[in-house]
Amino acid sequence: MNSRSGFESAGAGAHAVSRQQLLERLDQLLEPERFKDYGPNGLQVEGRSPVRKIVSGVTASLALIEAAVARGADALFVHHGLFWRGQDGRVTGWMRRRLALLLAQGRELVVVVGTKRGLAMAH
């Protein structure tokens, strides 16, 4: 177990964690309630549980989502999520393509957003 994160490594024999356990640990590490941000921090798209493999990146781009699916990830941890205050709420174009891939045929992923300050403080 990594003493800094509190999570098991994703190596051979890695353990699974429930979605709830993952979200609770991320909330403990990042303290998202301390920050007012441009979008919702925390869970944005509910995915599969248990979580065995997590892919992380900066932005929930189509390329990152495709890479996470290709690697068999159960959860996607990003700084820039899909939803932002003041954006058009319609699910069309790029948003439709990203959500469709996240939700397709059981390949659901958890998208969790961390604040910049929170991510820096967790390191």
Could you give the domains of the chain?
A: 19-122 (3.40.1390.30)
Kindly report the number of other CB atoms within 10 A of residue 68's CB atom. Answer: 26
| Distance separating alpha carbons of residues 99 and 122, to the nearest angstrom | 28
112 touches 77 (CB < 8 A): yes
pTM for this entry: 0.74
* CB contact burial 32-43 (16+ within 10 A = b; e otherwise): beeeebeeebeb
Q: What is the pLDDT of residue 4?
A: 46
| Distance separating alpha carbons of residues 46 and 27, to the nearest angstrom | 16
106 touches 23 (CB < 8 A): no
Pick out the chain residues at pLDDT < 70: 1-14, 105-123
Q: What sign for the dihedral angle of Cα 42, 109, 79, 93?
A: negative
Q: What is the pLDDT of residue 93?
A: 94
Q: What is the pLDDT of residue 9?
A: 46
